[in-house]
Structure 1
Amino acid sequence: MQVTEYVFGIDVSKRKLDTALLHNGKIKSKVFENSTAGHVAMLLWLMDRGATPSTTHLCLEATGPYSEPVALAIVEAGWSVSIVNPARIKGFAQGELARNKTDQADAALLARFCSAMRPEYWTPPPAEWRELRGWVDRLEALKAMHQQESNRLEAHEVSGQLALMQAVQSHLDWLKREIEALALKIDDHIDRHPNLKQDADLLRSIPGVSHTTAAKVLAYAGDVRRFSNAKALAAFIGLTPRQRLSGSSVKGRTIISRTGHKDLRRALYMPGLVARRYNPVLKTFADRLATTGLAPKAVIGAVMRKLAHLIYGVITSGKPFDLNHRQTGLAIQDGI
């Protein structure tokens, strides 16, 4: 087990890295550029103060496109880093009754959190998985633009603005072509990488999971084998049940937690609706829940969670979904 003597918190922003080195109860702060040169300078600064890869635990928040390049540079240099959900840091700050919210204070907070909680180390996904996520993000952005322009076209049509309608329609036509071309690129990217192709084929064997959904699952969840079990995957997505029961007065209804990857959770909603009707295993499961009086939306949440379990099952087993295989343990206590 690695012996950690130094803990290093990194608050990441677009242009700079506010850092805090915690050692023997004392914190030293330093600001670096968020660039390749800045990453190198940061690690050299650590070594100048006695920190080494074997004795240092680095920690930063998941901040989208800005945090991953920093984490990659750290791992490639041989250091250990954790990427933490910002909600955990916020909760830790509330527990400390933190009053100040500055970049320097956040870096120190990350160092204290890392020292107290010892979050697991981050393992970067292979390059082809990261590239797939980039393609999928781009496709989703174009689809969002297409929906926005469709709404504008409808508004201009109501107001009778013909010239604007033509301009918007021209953009819609371009977006449609780009979306179709990008979908083909994503399929080609998956087909060119055996690991991605194998997992995509397994995912598409599940009734309700399309090519688009399979690509999103691979892009957002990465290699699901990294999760210890199916429940861990469901928790990552935010599909685990959240109960509100306390004493004799608080009896709130159980809902899905939604503390997880919202894009992946959104990606499983329509497949959940389809699987509710056409996946024999999930249809039986959903019908049984419905007979207990569970609300329709809660039933769909349960189906989405069970769909996450099936996704984990087919990929970790390496076997396609079997319609003749009826899973045991589809009990109500599995949660919604």
Structure 2
Amino acid sequence: MFYLGIDVAKAKLDCSLLLNETSLKRKSKKVTNSQTGFTELLTWLVKQDIKLTDLHVTMEATGIYHEQAAQALHDAGARVSIVNPVKVKSLGSTLAIRTKTDGVDSFLIARFGLLCKPDAWVPPAPEVRVLKAFLARQEAISEDLQRERNRQEKIQIVSAPERVHKSLSDSINFLQMQLKQLQQEIDEHIDRHSALKEDLDLLKSIRAIGPQVGKAMLSVMQTHSFKSAEQLAAYLGLVPVERQSGSSVFGRARLSKAGPPEIRAKLYMAAIVAIRYNTHVKALYERLRNRGKSSMSALGACMRKLVHLCFGVLKSRMPYDENYANIA
């Protein structure tokens, strides 16, 4: 098995190919982060007498910039792993690597692939990628709409020309129309794909998981391969991080908040509803409050509970059963 580490940037890919697992001999290659660059990289690999089926490619998750390269290498037959940059950085600290360049980073990523053998990445289905793009656009327009509403509220206090009022009003009406059209397209897209519709119905069977939260969770769970509910909660930044050492350091546990904040915000609102209307979440909240936990700490646990329930209904392929006993 050969190991290729790729440091991904917006415009280019820095690649390090390990030729020997023991001596760590390597060859380097730089290509553009484009279809032309991917073809050039694959041609270069073939010239190294490497079968792509014997190649393990490791790259860091870098927003959206790694996605096309990962897809191209996967389609060519290579085993592709997409890893958390924090894990690679930790390995660099362990190996006392202090130099920070793109070439060194790609070499470190290749060594991470060799030493840790990360799981293979499975590309999401085309309909899932479309749903993810729709939801990202919906979130962006919603944020723009809220900003325009905030501006409209402010100009009510100060003296502003009528033209400014009209401009804001027109902008808000346009964004509202865009959101309405986009919502219709999202609903039609889900209805056209039975697997997405079935999964969304399972998620909405959980009290407090409405259409918006359900679609957001569906996008996350269909885009990544989570082996457990704990992995899903960790990805969303909902696991508690403790800070204790000896007798002098005793910090309060806090949520890691390492994942997408927009989904955490939706889960927070869902948890607010769940502590009133979801039997199991309400029982968990009351139990933690009776133990002396703060309201925010208990709400964090309820958000995590909702994530576990979401994972459970999709894993079991059974709707949420509110009468199921002893769910903690």
Q: TM-score, normalised by structure 1?
A: 0.92
Aligned to 1:67: 66
TM-superposition CA deviations, 1:219-252 (whole Å, max 9, x none): 122167x422222221222212222222232222
Instruction: Give the RMSD, CA atoms, in angstroms.
Output: 1.6
Aligned to 2:17: 21
Aligned to 2:290: 291
Q: Distance in 2 between matches of 1:218 and 1:206?
A: 13
Aligned to 2:312: 313
Local SS of the residue matching 1:64: coil
Q: Distance in 2 between matches of 1:308 and 1:230?
A: 7
**Contact residue 149 and residue 172 of structure 1 kept, 8 A:** yes
Local SS of the residue matching 1:54: helix
Of the structure 1 ranges 178-187 and 134-143, higher mean CA displacement relative to structure 2 is found in 178-187
Q: Distance in 2 between matches of 1:67 and 1:15?
A: 11
Aligned to 2:127: 128
**Amino acid across the alignment from 2:54:** T
TM-superposition CA deviations, 1:146-191 (whole Å, max 9, x none): 1111222223332221321211221111001111111111111111
Aligned to 2:45: 46
Q: In structure 2, do the counterparts of structure 1 residues 263 and 86 end up closer, same or farther at CA, with 3 Å as the change threshold? A: farther
Deviation at 1:42, TM superposition (A): 0.4
**Contact residue 220 and residue 264 of structure 1 kept, 8 A:** no
Aligned to 1:217: 217
Deviation at 1:94, TM superposition (A): 2.7
Q: In structure 2, do the counterparts of structure 1 residues 267 and 91 end up closer, same or farther at CA, with 3 Å as the change threshold? A: farther
Local SS of the residue matching 2:53: coil
**Contact residue 221 and residue 264 of structure 1 kept, 8 A:** no
Matched, 1:10 2:6: yes
Deviation at 1:35, TM superposition (A): 1.3
Local SS of the residue matching 1:218: helix
Local SS of the residue matching 1:158: coil
Deviation at 1:29, TM superposition (A): 1.3
Q: In structure 2, do the counterparts of structure 1 residues 274 and 213 end up closer, same or farther at CA, with 3 Å as the change threshold? A: same
Of the structure 1 ranges 163-172 and 260-269, higher mean CA displacement relative to structure 2 is found in 260-269
Aligned to 2:183: 183
Identity %: 39
Q: Distance in 2 between matches of 1:267 and 1:114?
A: 35
Runs of 4+ in structure 1 off by over 4 angstroms are none
Structure 1's unaligned 5+ residue stretches are 331-336
Aligned to 2:208: 208
Q: In structure 2, do the counterparts of structure 1 residues 32 and 260 end up closer, same or farther at CA, with 3 Å as the change threshold? A: same
**Contact residue 57 and residue 80 of structure 2 kept, 8 A:** yes
Q: Distance in 2 between matches of 1:35 and 1:327?
A: 52
Of the structure 1 ranges 187-196 and 101-110, higher mean CA displacement relative to structure 2 is found in 101-110
Aligned to 1:196: 196
Of the structure 1 ranges 276-285 and 109-118, higher mean CA displacement relative to structure 2 is found in 109-118
Q: Distance in 1 between matches of 2:240 and 2:61?
A: 24
Deviation at 1:96, TM superposition (A): 3.1
* Equivalent residue pairs, number: 324
**Amino acid across the alignment from 1:89:** V
Matched, 1:92 2:91: yes
**Contact residue 129 and residue 223 of structure 2 kept, 8 A:** no
**Amino acid across the alignment from 1:233:** L
